[in-house]
Amino acid sequence: MRSTRSGGGNAQTPERTCVLSRRTGSRDELIRLALGPDGQVLPDVRAKAPGRGAWIGVPRPELDSAIVKGKLKGALSRAFKTGELTVPSDLGEKIEAALRQAVLDRLGMEARSGNLINGADRVEQAARMGKVRLLLHAADAGLDGRRRLDQAWRVGGAEERGLSRGLEIPVERTILSMALGRENVVHVALIDPAAAARVLHALSRWRAFIGVGRGLEGGDAALATGSADLTNEGTE
């Protein structure tokens, strides 16, 4: 754990080390793995499982390769201080599914809290008025619709916050609609700053793991707004 101090305060920022790359990063940047009672290595993307944890900060292709070559098992055996563990061959798939579900769950919660709007016309109007804090498009959203809403967002001041376009959610509209409990959701706008930060944090982790963005090296321009204050994310 590194301690950072500013203005006489005492703030501690927990950092972890990826067992594969040995790069360090914050808990928000890395993904925690936990060891189950039966010795199975399981994803713990919310970092809430009890016991010792190990951390990874590589995208899925690198993780899958490390699993096949046995490198991940060796690294985890050292981290967990035991050779009695099993690394599932589909661990990468399990992590991706967990990250995906975390995003969909977060979007559903923000929708129920009234922090999210959808519908191209509503989103465009809110974007032009400067009310949109984060703009999202379903994976199957049309190019013309994306461009129109991205332009409206820029008119509303998105570029002043370091943004130039909306982010793609790597699921199609049918999945997005089910997550929000609404019909035909193609474009989504977060209108509350804190809600936008929470969604951006979850989405950034998912996108980085599947190779959209650059993980610990940083993300695309639209990911540069930072992550939410996840004080309830859990501790190791």
How confident is the prediction along the chain (236 residues), in pLDDT tens digits per residue?
333 333 444 456 679 999 999 999 988 889 999 999 999 999 999 999 998 899 999 999 999 999 999 999 999 999 999 989 999 999 999 999 999 999 999 999 999 999 999 999 999 999 999 999 999 999 999 999 999 999 999 999 998 878 889 999 999 999 999 999 999 999 999 999 999 999 999 999 999 999 875 433 333 433 333 433 333 333 34
> Are β-strands 11-13 and 2-4 bridged in parallel, bridged antiparallel, or unpaired?
antiparallel
Beta strand pairing status for 167-169 and 134-138?
A: parallel
Integer Cα distance of 22 and 16 in angstroms: 9
Residue 225: the pLDDT is 37
**pTM for this one?**
0.83
pLDDT at 81: 93
The encoded tokens of residue 170 equal 């790597």
15 membership: H or E segment, kind and range = strand 15-17
The phi and psi torsions of 40 (rounded to 5 degrees) equal -75, 135
